[in-house]
Amino acid sequence: MKHRGILVVVSGFSGAGKGTLMERLVKSYENYALSVSMTTRPPRPGEQDGREYFFVSKETFERRIAEEAFVEYAQYCGNYYGTPKEYVERQLACGKDVILEIEIQGALRIKEKFPDALLLFVTPPSIRELQRRLTGRGTDSQAVIHDRLLRAGEEAEGIENYDYLVINDDLDECAAKMHRLIQDAHSAPCRNEEFIEEIRAQLDELKKGEE
Ligand code: ADP
Ligand code: 5GP
């Protein structure tokens, strides 16, 4: 029986290590498809259009909203970010587990639209370590880092909406843990409704045969 993939939402404070973890996950395990979002934020040094994000103007982004091209979108620190619909639907239908690395407003919208999505929240082991990672990444000014740490305070209020908290201390251990959580999620009854219906239908047949 061919299974539909799971929609996996990964959120976490900026600098928690989400991007690094996703890269590790996709490299180490099969069957994951990483959704590439569209954004109006400018590329960081080293980022490539179509790889980390599709970088577009505000006008283009707003046109895509009007065309209903996003599964969800949100504003974060003054920029738009959104998940293109077509890729996600195609990969889920192929049986891939699709990972959306998105912030909390988008995550909550996904949960409303797709109640069987799996929501994971990644944190570093401490906020001191978060500051170290943000500074060490060397991609953002002190003002941007300050903005992102303020935003982290707001995001921390929503952690209980997620299914699991994943602490990114050792990178390999964390990627392995995330993989296990996603694989185990495949066994939840809410993600096996077709199979359960099939088993029930077979039991009904059996009962009818005995009547
Ligand atoms: P995010 O995508 O959550 O904003 P990044 O993946 O860009 O975060 O990681 C932020 C910084 O922290 C990067 O410099 C990355 O190399 C580093 N980092 C990520 N995970 C770990 C880890 N487990 N231990 C130490 N440093 C890490
Ligand atoms: P960054 O600018 O650091 O790449 O991303 C900023 C925040 O936007 C991160 O929390 C990231 O997870 C989130 N984000 C990236 N893409 C999307 C998206 O398509 N939708 C939403 N809602 N958030 C996104």
pLDDT at residue 211, rounded to an integer: 81
Q: Taking 70 as the threshold, does the pLDDT of residue 199 lie above it?
A: yes
pLDDT at residue 183, rounded to an integer: 95
Closest residue by CA, ligand 1 atom 10? 15
Closest residue by CA, ligand 1 atom 5? 17
Q: Taking 60 as the threshold, does the pLDDT of residue 121 lie above it?
A: yes
Can you tell me the distance from the alpha carbon of 59 to that of 72, in angstroms, rounded to the nearest whole number?
Answer: 17
Can you tell me the distance from the alpha carbon of 50 to that of 56, in angstroms, rounded to the nearest whole number?
Answer: 11
Amino acid found at 73 = Y
The pTM for the full model equals 0.93
Closest residue by CA, ligand 2 atom 9? 103
- The per-residue pLDDT for range 5-43, each reduced to its tens digit, is 999 999 999 999 999 999 999 999 999 999 999 999 999
Best mutation site among 36, 37, 51 for ligand 2, i.e. most ligand atoms within 8 A of its Cβ?
Answer: 37
- With a pLDDT cut of 90, the percent of the chain lying above it is 89
Domains of the chain: 7-35+97-210 (3.40.50.300)
Which ligand places an atom closest to the C-alpha of 21? Answer: 1
Structure tokens at 121: 């929240």
pLDDT at residue 2, rounded to an integer: 59
Q: Taking 90 as the threshold, does the pLDDT of residue 139 lie above it?
A: no
Q: What is the DSSP string of 115-144?
A: TT-EEEEEE-S-HHHHHHHHHHH--S-HHH
